[in-house]
Amino acid sequence: MGKTWIISPTFDCLFICGGLFWLLYGLHLFALTQTNHSQQLALLAAVSNLGFLFVSETHTISTIFVLDTKDSSLSVRSILIAVILLTIGILCFFIPALPAILLKVYLLWVPQHFLAQTRGIFLLYCLKANVAITTTKRFWLLTTTRLTMFYWMAVLLTDYKQGPTEFLMTRLPDWGVLPTWVASALLLLSFFSILTLSLSFLPISTNGTKTKLPPAHAWAMLITSLLLFLLPRERLDDIWLYAPAYFHGSQYLCLVYARIKESKPFIAFTMLPLALLCAVAVFAGLPMLISNFSVPLVTALAVVFCCIQFQHFITDAEIWKLSRKPVRQALCSTITEEIQFYKPRALDGSNFK
């Protein structure tokens, strides 16, 4: 039973599958039903802010704890990425329009990052529960997450006022290039692909043996992730108060912990304060340092934020691939050699992130 979870049933349900996130959103909705809800909402806003500081920012930084020369996660490629991003960051201080462009690219990249992570965790849960993922199922899983991602990107690229017009105190560029029907069509296609994905997992009797279904918590996590982008806009504003920290960030921290608990036990044990310290140094210290060179603090903040986030996105896409042996060894060490050998072949080429 315990082998099907990444850390433990309680931890997984709360921090990986979205239990805490739905709990907070439920409290938010409950507070809204009260006649005098200003105090409750202020408290929930504080919870959201604390989550941003202690979970969301730390999760971005915690990527560095996974990097290791032994398992080739720290390679020339990762150093090259850092150098390229540093160059872009320096360029931002000379080209005034660049920080706003970087922020817009970041917002467009977010759905890919969120959905790729949940897709990887879904596959990991299937792997742990000995659920065979055929090529068709994998195709529909990828299609569903990709269509949802494209839908959200289309929304941001359709009507300027539909998405955020300002982010990190910087006015975003107007890239409303797509007609309205594109987003609507992608939304319909997303729902259709979710339906097809669900149908592809229906237990069909083949050769007298029934196929196993993915665990319920894996489904809950995947559906939560898709709803973050597919729900109506009026709901999303409230949902996104909690999603980055209490769904995506907590998920990632749990995974990092599970990955390094054997190889780096001290860092795993003290991961949260260490990551917090690094996050303060990077997200607060670095912009303040840069602002000393007559760069506006807001610009410095935006540039540092984007560069660190991009490093996190690109590095993650490489180091969390389930097809990599160190990743499988760290996250699926309890499963048999035969399954370890068979399943990644079925998952061949799929990104964990």
Partner 1 sequence: MKEIIYASAQPTEMVRVNTLACLEALLNILVNSAELAMIAIGCLIILTVIYKKNKIRNIAKNFRLTSDAGKFNSKDKLAILCGGCLMTSGPALTFCCNWLVRLYADNLM
Q: What is the contact surface with partner 1 in residues (CB under 8 A)?
A: 7-8, 11, 53, 261-262, 265-266, 268-270, 272-274, 276-277, 279-281, 284-285, 288, 297
Name the residue nearer to partner 1 (CB basis): 8 or 134.
Answer: 8
Nearer to partner 1, 29 or 281 (CB): 281
CB of 8 vs partner 1, minimal distance in Å: 6
For residues 129 and 66, give the distance between their C-alpha atoms in angstroms, rounded to a whole number: 25
To the nearest whole angstrom, how small is the minimum distance from the Cβ of residue 71 to partner 1? 19
Cα separation values, 86 from 14, 89, 282, 303, Å: 36, 5, 13, 10
Distance of CA 243 to the CA centre of its chain: 10
Q: Are 58 and 275 in contact (CB under 8 A)?
A: yes
Q: In 3D, which of 305, 320, 226 has the Cα closest to residue 60?
A: 305
124 within 8 A of 189, measured Cβ to Cβ: no
CB atoms within 10 A of CB 336: 10
Query: 44 or 275: whose CB is closer to partner 1?
Result: 275
Largest pairwise CA distance in the chain: 73
In the complex, what is the shortest distance from the CB of residue 268 to partner 1, in angstroms, rounded to a whole number? 5
The alpha carbons of the chain give a radius of gyration, in whole angstroms, of 21
What is the closest distance, in whole angstroms, from the C-beta atom of residue 253 to partner 1 in the complex?
Answer: 14
DSSP state of 6: S
Between 273 and 349, name the residue whose CB sits nearer to partner 1. Answer: 273
Nearer to partner 1, 129 or 268 (CB): 268
- Dist CA 187 CA 193 (whole Å): 10
State the minimum distance, in angstroms, from the CB of residue 54 to partner 1.
Answer: 8
Shorter beta-carbon distance to partner 1: residue 135 or 270: 270
Burial class of 219 by CB neighbour count within 10 A (0 to 12, 13 to 18, 19+):
middle
Task: Answer whether 16's CB lies under 8 Å from 224's CB.
Answer: no
* Nearest distance from C-beta of residue 261 to partner 1, angstroms: 6
- Min. distance of Cβ 338 from partner 1 in angstroms? 25
**Nearer to partner 1 (CB atom), residue 190 or residue 250:** 250
- Identity of the amino acid at 63: T
